[in-house]
Structures are given as C-alpha cells and as structure tokens.
Chain A
Amino acid sequence: MIRAENISKRYSEKGRQVLSGVNLVFESGEFCAVMGESGSGKSTLLAIIAGILKPDSGRILVSKEAYNRIRSNAGGIGSEEADNNVVNLTESVKSDENQNHKRDEIDIYSLSDEELSEFHREKLGYVPQGNVFLKNYTVLENLVTPFLTKDNLGTLNDRAYALLESLGVKEPADRHTFELSGGEQKRVALARAFMTDPEIVIADEPTTGLDASTGDIILGFLKSKAEEGKTVIVATHDEHVKAYATRTITTAYH
C-alpha cells in the first residue's frame, strides 16, 4: 500500500498550481489508471508518488512493515543505524491527527538519500515517459548493470531474459537500445522496472504512441503483475487502459 497525503505542487513560485491537496491511497493488487488532459498533473503526481520529485507539501507514505521487510531483505545499511532512522520517522508521525493509522507508515521524502535509493532499488519500479536508457549498453546490460553486485550476475541475467521473453523482446544481449523500435524500447523499460520484483510499479504513459497489439502486451503484463499482488499505477491518455485497470482516477486542469 502507498498513500499520497495532501500533496501540492507548483514548479515555480509564480507558476500554476499543478496539484493541490491531493489525497490518494493505492492498495496492493490494484491496477490504477490516472487519466486526464495534458497538463492536468498526471505525470507530476506519479513522479511525486515515485519519490523522484519533491512535493511542495504533503507526504508519500508506505507501510513501515513493507519498508522494514525490504530493508531486512536488502541488508544494505547497518541495522543499528536503520533502526534509529525508523524510530525517528515513526516519532515524527506521532503528532499527526490520525496517529493510530499513521504510526505504521513512513514518509519516503523523510528518508535519507541511502534509504530512498534503497527504496527505489528494492520496492519501487518506475517507467519514465520517454525511453531513457544507458547509452552504449546492450538491452541486457541496461537491465542488469544498475542492479549488479558482486555475486548476483547470474540471477539478474536469468531474470532479465525471463522478463524480456514474457514481453516479446528478442536477442537482448546482442542489440543496443537505439536499435529497437519504440514499442520494444517501452517494453525494455518496463522489464527494467520489474528487475528487482518491486511491490509498486509506476508507469508514465506506457502505451502512448504504440500500436494496439504492443499496447495490449504491455497492459496485459501490468495486469498480470497487479494480479500477483503488486501495486500498479499508470498515467495515460489511452482510453484502452480502462479495460485493464481496476480503478480509474481522473485529474483535471486548473
């Protein structure tokens, strides 16, 4: 579960208020489509939820239980230090009005850089709107390199091949991302978001500009992941997404 609480955002002091006091809850196993006209703040909302754009106010809360599970699985930070951080974070929400409900949640924007990075690496997958890849790397390397540690190459390779196969991308070790079609690039970006089997996946316009059959492959894949218990949030203009989503949220331009 991930919860947006009272989120507001504008990009500059004199700029338009893109988001104002947004409150949303996304449950595990949910496939939520965020729809709305251009400029209505879909991508901004998703970026804030993903922890890659600081809101002007408000918090993005994840359950402490899930967060601690990730931390104990990842084991990247010293346990003593981690425990201290969790205590502080928990204390910080004690003053909230709904203490009983929020005591078990952590605001991702209050995490240290190391902790937020770990959250991104282990808990959340993000598919950006543009097809962004590491240049000069093959498809396979784009999936494996960011998550590589001393002894996980074999596991990552297996996982990358499995994900790409399920999304219909062939010969990943021999091709560079610039050689791929737009649809293939989008599928590779989607596969990359699932490399660490995260609990939450956020995709910004994953089917925009793609033909219907490629769009169906991508949406079918996302739906299957939601059915496995993942939280899937998609920003889109594509009405076709509604057929796959379990919930639709509409944003409006102010």
Chain B
Amino acid sequence: MSVRNLFRNIQSHAFYNVCLLSAIAILSVILFGSIVIGTSLANGTENMKGRLGADIMLVPRGAKEKAENLLLEGQRGAFYFESSIYDGVAGIEGITKITSQSFLKSLSADCCSSEVEIVFFDPETDFVVAPWIEQEYEKNLGGERVVVGHNIESTDGVIKLFGQDYPVVSKMAKTGTALDSSVYFAAEVKGEILKAAEEKGSFLTDAQKRSGTLSSIFINVSDGYDIGRVIEDAHRAVGDTFDVVYPKQLNESLGESLGGITGGISVIAVSLGILLATLMLIINSILMNRRKQDVALMRILGKTKKDLVRMLVSELGIISLAGGVAGCLIGALVVLPFGTYIGMSLNMPYLGPGPGATIAVVALIIVGAALIVFLTSIVFILRISGTDPYLALRREE
C-alpha cells in the first residue's frame, strides 16, 4: 500500500489516531525532559566534581554560603578579606599548593550582551583555573591578557571591556554555570581594571576598590596530612577571620542531591510512561477494533495477512514518528532554553548536552516510542488479521 493511502487510512480514523499521536507526543516530552535534565545535572555535577580541585577553600567569615553557591552554580558573591591572611597561612605545614582569587561583582561590559563576572587570579600559583582551560592561544598570560569563560566570544582574539581591548590567552571549558560568563585577569592588573570600570560608570563598593583584598584562598594538603590540623594551624596564624569550605564534601552532597533528583525524575517518568503506555493500549484496542472491517474487506479482496499486518504497523509507525518528533520538539522548546534556570532552581550545576548528544536522545526516544506503540498494538493487529473475515464483517454489521 502506498504512503499516500496509509495517510488516508490514518485520516479515516482521525480522532483515535490523534489521541494516539498525542499520547506518544506527551510520552516523548516526558522522556526528552527527564533524559535531558537528568543528563545535564549529571554532566554538570561530574564537571563540577572535577573542577573542585582544592581540598579546602578559605573565605571571609560569614561568606560560607555565598562561597558554596560559587562552587555549585558559579554565582560570584562580593566577599573580601585581607590579603595578609594569605601570607599568614601560606607557610603552614602540610600545604602543597595555595593560590588566591578575588572576585568582582557582575558588570556590564562592551564585549557581551549579558553581565560578565570579573575574577582576578594569580597565574604563578594557580591550580584551579588552569586545568579547565579548553583552548590555548599563542599568547602568555600576564599583564592585560585574559582567560575567558566558555560563553565569552572574542573578536580576532580580543575582547572589549570598559572601552579597552584585552587579548584573550585561552578559553575555559563549558561548566553550565555563571563561570561560563567570567573573565579572568592576572591579579597584578586589578588596580587598572577597577579604574577602567569606574571610569566607564560601574559602581564599585569601597571593599572592591580597596587594594590588598582577596575573596578566597584555595589550598591543597599533602596526601595523608590531617586537613583539620592545617585548619587549626591557620586559625592560630590568622585568627578567626575565615570560614572553611570543603569542596570535596560538597561533591559528596552534590552526588547525593543528584541521586535524589534523578531518582525522583525517573520515578515520575516511569510512572507517567506506564500510564501513557496503558492509555496507548486502550486506544490501540479501540482503533484496531474500528479497523476490523477494513481488514476483513481487504482480505476478501485478496490481501494476505502479512500485507495487512504490514499496513497496520506502517500506519502506526507513521503516527509514532510524528508523535515522537512532535514530542521531542516540544520538549526541546520547553527544556533547552531554560537549562540555567532549571539548574538554579534545583541548586545544582546544569551542563546541557551538545547537539550530537541531543540528536542521539531524540533518535532514542523516537525508536522507543515506536517500540512501545508496536508492543501495545501487536496483539490486536494479529487478532484482527487472523479473524475470519466473514465474522469480522458480521460483527461490524
């Protein structure tokens, strides 16, 4: 039977076919949403785990929550302590790596449509930024040269900030957080950048303008050395001036949160999937009952059972494909543009799948939806194609 005739057969039973298509589309939306959100949260978490390379992070007293938000969502907060704290803890026994960063709040910049986060770091001691550089350019960091987050686009290797051009040295890997909109300067140019920002009308607090301040100190402790002892020594050295964030503990809680959320998503998706599969079973039962007369007539006119099974399966294949594609499109429109919002509302890092992975998910859903439709209809198809045509016609009459 030609494709045109398959469409006409579908049209002949439009109501039930639309019901079936809608059920498939809803199922596809649910599958697309749950797979994409689950995968994005897992990607974001995995990425975050790798990125939280320090054993401990010292932040100003009272800024612990903001610092945790920074680690989880890349949301910079404006918190500062004296840089002398760095000097005070740098020599403590057991510390193998130590580096500092200073954050500036989000600022409007010439380069970008949305605000950018300005981060000052020390390239000499850094072990936090460097591992996440995705793309290196043929320039050395230092002076007014910058590292940019994944979403920052440069023009001819240069970005424009506060009316000045800054050569881009390298680009960070995507994180799915606000870090993707960050610009990393060497700490030595902090004064010049702040001045340029103020000249262009950016409002800066006194704490931000003041030289000799830092936002956080990242520390790695040598293997087997007691981290608690390092913290105690730090307190002894610089007093009760800081809070401690444990990125690795954060990783564990992140993993637990991820497990909870993806588990919840799975339960909802499977429950709704079972409900919709049951609905499809009912619709297919009604639909095939209504096709009984057509099938009986076709058999009387010389079509084989195989021809008719092929015809019915093809019709359902068309509906499955249409429903699957429609569902994935709706799912993409609903889920993809709101990834960042979803991550923020769940308080989790969210790193959406790339185009290749998205296409693979769509293909998987379309095949899966077709399989569910096939499984929920094949019994009815075999039953009506196997019934004596006369009985099928007589019951219809």
Mark contacts of A44-55 with chain B using CB atoms, 8 A cut-off: 1 yes-contact digit, 0 otherwise: 100100101110
Known: A47-B390, A126-B300. A113 touches B305 (CB 8 A): yes
| Contacting residues, chain A, for B391 (C-beta < 8 A) | 53
Chain B positions 99-121 with a Cβ under 8 Å from a chain A Cβ: none
Chain A positions 144-190 with a Cβ under 8 Å from a chain B Cβ: 145-147
Q: Are B390 and A146 interface neighbours, CB within 8 A?
A: no
Chain B positions 108-153 with a Cβ under 8 Å from a chain A Cβ: none
| Contacting residues, chain A, for B12 (C-beta < 8 A) | 134-136
Partner of B388, one of A53, A129, A146: A53
Partner of B297, one of A44, A50, A134: A134
| Contacting residues, chain A, for B390 (C-beta < 8 A) | 43-44, 47, 50, 52-53
Number of interface residues of B (CB under 8 A): 28
Partner of A120, one of B5, B300, B394, B396: B300
With a 10 A CB-CB cut-off, give which of A122, A128, A147 has the most chain B CB atoms.
Answer: A128
Tell me whether A209 is interfacial, beta carbon within 8 Å. Answer: no
Q: How far is the CA of A128 from the CA of B293 in the complex (A)?
A: 11
Tell me whether B371 is interfacial, beta carbon within 8 Å. Answer: no
Mark contacts of A115-153 with chain B using CB atoms, 8 A cut-off: 1 yes-contact digit, 0 otherwise: 001101110001011101111110000000111000000
Q: How distant is A91 from chain B, measured CB to nearest CB, in Å?
A: 24
Known: A136-B12, A146-B302. A130 touches B397 (CB 8 A): yes
| Contacting residues, chain B, for A113 (C-beta < 8 A) | 304-306
Q: Are A128 and B301 interface neighbours, CB within 8 A?
A: no
Q: Are B8 and A136 interface neighbours, CB within 8 A?
A: yes
| Contacting residues, chain B, for A146 (C-beta < 8 A) | 298, 301-303
| Contacting residues, chain A, for B394 (C-beta < 8 A) | 43
Q: How distant is B297 from chain A, measured CB to nearest CB, in Å?
A: 5
Mark contacts of B289-300 with chain A using CB atoms, 8 A cut-off: 1 yes-contact digit, 0 otherwise: 000011011111
Q: Are B302 and A120 interface neighbours, CB within 8 A?
A: yes
Q: Is the interface of B mostly helix, strand, loop or mixed?
A: helix
Q: Are B301 and A121 interface neighbours, CB within 8 A?
A: yes
Mark contacts of B367-397 with chain A using CB atoms, 8 A cut-off: 1 yes-contact digit, 0 otherwise: 0000000000000000000001111011011
Tell me whether A223 is interfacial, beta carbon within 8 Å. Answer: no
- For B298, give the chain A residue with the smallest CB separation: A146
Tell me whether A59 is interfacial, beta carbon within 8 Å. Answer: no
Chain A positions 25-54 with a Cβ under 8 Å from a chain B Cβ: 43-44, 47, 50, 52-54
| Contacting residues, chain A, for B299 (C-beta < 8 A) | 52, 117, 120
Mark contacts of B9-30 with chain A using CB atoms, 8 A cut-off: 1 yes-contact digit, 0 otherwise: 1011100000000000000000
Q: How far is the CA of A129 from the CA of B393 in the complex (A)?
A: 9
Partner of B11, one of A43, A53, A54, A136: A136
Q: How far is the CA of A130 from the CA of B391 in the complex (A)?
A: 13
Partner of A137, one of B8, B293, B296, B388: B8
Q: How distant is A126 from chain B, measured CB to nearest CB, in Å?
A: 5
Tell me whether A114 is interfacial, beta carbon within 8 Å. Answer: yes
Tell me whether A225 is interfacial, beta carbon within 8 Å. Answer: no
With a 10 A CB-CB cut-off, give which of A54, A126, A136 has the most chain B CB atoms.
Answer: A136
Q: How far is the CA of A82 from the CA of B394 in the complex (A)?
A: 32
- For A123, give the chain B residue with the smallest CB separation: B302
Tell me whether A230 is interfacial, beta carbon within 8 Å. Answer: no
Known: A52-B388, A137-B8. A130 touches B302 (CB 8 A): no
Known: A53-B391, A120-B301, A192-B301. A132 touches B396 (CB 8 A): yes
Q: How distant is A146 from chain B, measured CB to nearest CB, in Å?
A: 4
Q: How distant is B148 from chain A, measured CB to nearest CB, in Å?
A: 60
Q: How far is the CA of A71 from the CA of B389 in the complex (A)?
A: 22
Q: How far is the CA of A133 from the CA of B298 in the complex (A)?
A: 10
Given contacts A129-B393, A132-B296, 13 further A-B contacts (CB under 8 A): A43-B394, A47-B390, A113-B304, A113-B306, A114-B306, A117-B303, A120-B302, A121-B301, A121-B302, A132-B297, A136-B9, A146-B298, A146-B301
Please give me the 3 A-B residue pairs with the lowest Cβ-Cβ distance, nearest first. Answer: A121-B302, A47-B390, A53-B390
> CB within 8 Å of A: which residues of B?
5, 8-9, 11-13, 293-294, 296-307, 388-391, 393-394, 396-397
> CB within 8 Å of B: which residues of A?
43-44, 47, 50, 52-54, 113-114, 117-118, 120-122, 126, 128-130, 132-137, 145-147, 192, 196
What are 15 sample pairs from A and B whose C-beta atoms fall under 8 A apart?
A50-B390, A52-B388, A53-B391, A117-B299, A117-B303, A117-B304, A120-B300, A129-B393, A129-B397, A132-B393, A132-B396, A134-B9, A135-B294, A136-B9, A137-B8
